[in-house]
Structure 1
């Protein structure tokens, strides 16, 4: 079964047609990096997949469930998808551990002991167990983003969605987050990542998707995309990206 399928998806913001008849199929365990110029629809695509934005037409299937506006369906889809945002979105009044425990306790109905054990295991997995009892403001940006990844993993998702996870970080913090994501990829997690980190795309992606003006204009393995992009817009984009 496909992990994810989009069929003829359209999305408007007012008169702005941000996703245009977009279709995409992602196999379980596949790692996709989505790139393209600003305003091409990359983040909107990711946000539509777990219902943070509603698409107006077409179909989105997540692990066989069609995403509709029905709240039960949205909840079912969100149980399967972990989301990591550009700006972390950690609750500032909760410790890192409490951030990680919140959804498992209230959504998956784990006991506090079970949720804490799972959270500590995942904080160890992203190499920040010593930060568990600190508040987000006490962490570096890279540590906050790794905490956000652990929080998403606490819900045991089948698919991880990343929306520019390193773009808000200082350059020296980028690598530690990318290493965490590479480790996830090596474990076989299905991943869709909006990113301009072309080195990460070369190292991890099974496919690179290039978007422009709400459409997928290239969809190819990294070697083909970086050595011989087919679309002029992709060639121009790569010429302006360090490491492209």
Structure 2
């Protein structure tokens, strides 16, 4: 690998170079290349089974890639457990299913990781959690249990919980697909707020209205490959009014 590629990767928040992954004989990711700049918002879309979710799970090392190179905020994901732990503290992830601990209150769900992973004092962690619960407009439910909340409310708690680790990057894996239609907007509004604040975001979603509002790039995933075709959303250069200027990979 050339020095130019190494230097360029360090400037990116996320770099995937010729990434391949198999499930047995099934080649799920085929020579994936992707670069995400600081503050960039990217949406991955495509049919089920095309490798979108697997891609972002590899970025957080929830799935292990077999070939290629993944660099997150200057740290390469390899067999070094310290690198994996370092990346996971910098990357927040929100799943399709909320993955909240049902026996813990909303506040306890949000303070668990800061206390255990970042060794934050309990009082400081609770203040931080309340800050983010207010930010996602759900602070009034801090002392309730997840089962007492709607699906949309639980997903907002999941977002707040990720933010409590103060991540530099947020990964979203179809965060609205398990929600009733009337609950989708409240979650998307929260994500739009993060985008407007400059959070680096990589999102798997079928919500193309959301993509038009916030995405710098929309990447089409087909059969384990990212499409190189370019399509115009609109002739307007104003992304927040008409969507991003293009629909493309590079």
**Fold agreement, TM-score > 0.5:** yes
Q: Output the CA distance in 2 between the equivalents of 1:150 and 1:228.
A: 31
After TM superposition, the structure 1 = structure 2 runs for residues 1-244 of structure 1, keeping only pairs within 5 Å, are 1-218=11-228, 223=233
Assess, with a 3 A threshold, how the Cα gap between structure 1 residues 55 and 3 changes in structure 2: closer, same or farther.
Answer: same
- In the TM superposition, residue 103 of structure 1 has moved relative to its aligned partner by 0.4
Report the TM-score, using the length of structure 2 for normalisation: 0.89
Q: Is the 8 A contact 2:217 2:244 kept in 1?
A: no
Unaligned runs of 5+ in 2: 1-10, 235-242
> How far does the alpha carbon of each residue in 1:17-71 deviate from its partner, in whole angstroms, 9 at most, with x for none?
0000100000000000000000000000010001000000100000000001222
- CA-based RMSD: 1.9
Change (3 A) 1:51 1:222: farther
Mapped contact 2:233–2:247 kept (Cα < 8 A): no
Secondary structure, aligned partner of 1:12: strand
- What is residue 238 of structure 1 aligned with on the other side? none
SS in 2 for 1:223: coil
How far apart are the structure 2 equivalents of 1:72 and 1:108?
14
Q: In structure 1, the residue corresponding to 2:160 is in which secondary structure?
A: helix
Aligned residues: 231
Q: Deviation at 1:222?
A: 6.7
- Summarize the Cα distance change of 1:60–1:73 in structure 2 as closer, same or farther, 3 Å threshold: same
Alpha-carbon deviations, 1:60-112, whole Å to 9, x = none?
00000000122211100101100000001001111110000000000001000
Q: TM-score, normalised by structure 1?
A: 0.91
* Shift >3 Å, 4+ stretches: 218-222, 224-230
2:20–2:29 CA contact under 8 A, matched in 1: yes
